[in-house]
Chain A
Amino acid sequence: MSASTSSLAAPASPPSPAHTAPPDQRARRRHNPITWVQRGGLTTLLFMLPMLIIFGVFSWSPIVQSVIMSFQKTNLVTAPTFVGWDNFAAVFHDPLFYTAIRNTGYFALLAMLFGYPIPLVAAVIMSEVRRMKGLYSVLAYLPVVIPPVVSVLLWKIFYDASGGGVFNTILGWVGIPPQPWIQDAATAMPSLVLQATWAGAGSTIIIYLAALTGVSPELYDAAEVDGAGIWKKIWHVTMPQLRGILFITLILQVIATAQVFLQPYLFTSGGPVNSTTTILLLIYQYAFTNSLGGAYGQATALSLMLAVFLAILSLAYFRLTARWSDK
């Protein structure tokens, strides 16, 4: 897919006759509103309008506002006042901020341990399936299409800490005593990650499967000529060919886990004893569940910091995918 980057930079060759006029003539006409309308400039603007309005009001302006608000004290009643770096200082003085970073980091780490190797192994096995390949993909992707809220609520029932809970019943079959799951500070976070991995692994598997079909058969042929066995082929051909996509999924996963909200919000509301309060949950609490009225400044200050961190990651991601899809 090389059109992705080249098309955006492609030289404009519009069908309207005015654009084919010599440059000096074009430059002269541009400043004349009447010829601009005659050449369809107004119609073009009309087509642009829905995008300009929607993006302007609901994307560009909120982005700018969020930067401004992080330096303001806003309570929606009196006019906002500038407070400099106070909001950022308030965030840094909040002990929960460090708890949230630690918890989010812990979530990301566990998600990496659970969720990173499993889809890769599954995809390599699935790519060699000769019959009913589609069935494998559909089954793997099924958890992804269950609405996230339903999926979390369903797992909340599975995680019932009593001996009669679904998971505890299954554990009972193999003689393992009932686990507290989301009720205990020690097991809450791994339980959240387990559900998140279940809900997300399918899409990663699909990415890897696509990448695996892209590995050129000639490379395997060449490896065989050199006498490589199956393991050597996987290690020296498959893995190096997947290196780019492995790094991309890594970045994607960090971006996603840094913004985890649904699981801690619905499973545990950040408990027990703040063991699952994540950064996004803290932002939400600052802004919307604060009994003193929304600490909007603090919330935007924290989201801005998170956004800068994520923007760097997504920039890396887009550079990589651009290079990767150009191949």
Chain B
Amino acid sequence: MTTTLPTHEPPVAEAPPAPVEPSRRRRRRDRGTAEADRGILTGADWRRPRVRVTAGTLHIVMLVVLLAVGLLPLLWLMKSAITPTQDTLTNPMGLFPHGFAFSNLAKAWNDVHIGDFFFNTIAMAAGEWAVQLIVATTGGFALSVLRPKYGRIVSGLVLATLFVPAVVLLVPLYLTILHPPLIGHSLINTFWAVWLPAGASAFNVVLVMRFFDNLPREVFEAARTDGAGTFRLFFSIVLPMSKPIIGVVSVFAINAAWADFLWPNLVLADIRVQPLSVRLPQIQSSTDLGVYLAALAIATLIPVVIFLIFQRTFLRGGGLGGAVKG
């Protein structure tokens, strides 16, 4: 709403009379489209020069701090990844290195085999993503849409695992992977060791269940009346309606897989299946600094790109992981 906005805005002038004018105009326009009508400060507050100067200064200081703290380390990594090692060692904060060393990236990718570990990470993330989606959507569908008698007990047991920290599972889960039931041979050093346990995420099931609960039941009933079976209902009605929540679960799943260290470090000891997160700490001492930093930069690229594409998903659900804002 724009009711609190000052009304004495001058018509758009070709040359603004005072330097504050254009910024103030833009500010007003932004306020009109902003989600919140107002915050702590009112339009009247903003018109007081002292407040405007203080708040404006604070905001600029904040922006500088955020740039220095949030962006600068990343920029340093990107710069050092293509800087000759000697330059980084002698003058780590130098703005203009003596030439570029794009060979760092090639060396990291080929000689240190970062390429292989990169694809291992993708394989790990893709499998974890698939298992999580299958478990969460089928399970959520059974619990929220089909609602069998024993559903209450199952959802209770699933919810209960939310209260059990992952730590407590570490040793028994490791022994389970070492001697899995029915399969008869150890899953250590196979991707199944990370794919399957990832599916046991109560958080995903809860997210999907909440979404399914809010779908209009009339649609399901109409589909049933038209003769759709349970499978048809799932694949042709529920899944197509669930794209938003599938997107959210996917983004979190892929990001979590990319970030995971402790568990893959335990069960993927074989170099041929190791993801980046497990491999990077091991190569530190044996790798040339420039090449090593190039490896770190390569490992950072995908998560940062995913974040920049799916900003809204992260910034809306990232905090409490969707626990507060459904």
Interfacial residues, chain A to chain B (CB-CB below 8 A): 1, 3-4, 7-8, 10, 12-16, 30, 40-41, 43-45, 47-52, 54-55, 57-63, 65-66, 69, 74, 76, 122, 124-131, 133-150, 153-154, 156-158, 164-166, 169-170, 198, 202-204, 206-207, 210, 212-213, 215, 217, 220, 224, 230, 233-234, 237-238, 245, 248, 252, 255, 259, 261-262, 265-266, 280, 283-284, 287-288, 294, 296, 299-300, 303-304, 306-307, 310-311, 314-315, 318, 321, 324-325
Contacts and interface: CB of A to CB of B under 8 A. Distances in A.
- Most chain B beta-carbon contacts within 10 A, residue among A50, A149, A325: A149
A15 B221 contact: yes
Contact of B259 (A130, A148, A165, A202): A148
Nearest to A11: B147
Contact of A147 (B31, B171, B197, B259): B259
B163 interface: yes
Nearest to B41: A128
Contacts of B106: none
Contacts of B181: 57
A66 B71 contact: no
Given A12-B147, A41-B148, A150-B276, 10 more contacts: A44-B142, A54-B196, A54-B200, A63-B161, A130-B31, A145-B304, A164-B90, A165-B92, A166-B92, A283-B170
Interface of B: 23, 26-27, 30-31, 34-42, 45, 51, 55, 58-59, 62-63, 66-67, 69-71, 73-74, 76-77, 89-93, 131, 134-136, 138-139, 141-143, 145-149, 151, 154-155, 157-158, 161-176, 178, 180-181, 196-197, 199-200, 202, 205, 209-210, 213-214, 217, 220-221, 224, 229-231, 234, 255, 258-259, 261-262, 266, 276-277, 280-281, 284, 289, 293, 296, 299-300, 303-304, 306-308, 311, 314-316, 318-320, 323-326
10 contacts: A16-B146, A48-B148, A136-B66, A139-B70, A143-B73, A153-B296, A206-B319, A213-B36, A315-B163, A321-B320
A304 B168 contact: yes
A149 B261 contact: yes
Interface residues of chain A: helix, strand, loop or mixed (majority): helix
A51 B149 contact: no
A237 B39 CA distance: 11
Contact of A283 (B51, B167, B277): B167
A166 B92 CA distance: 6
Given A3-B210, A12-B147, A306-B167, A43 B320 contact: no
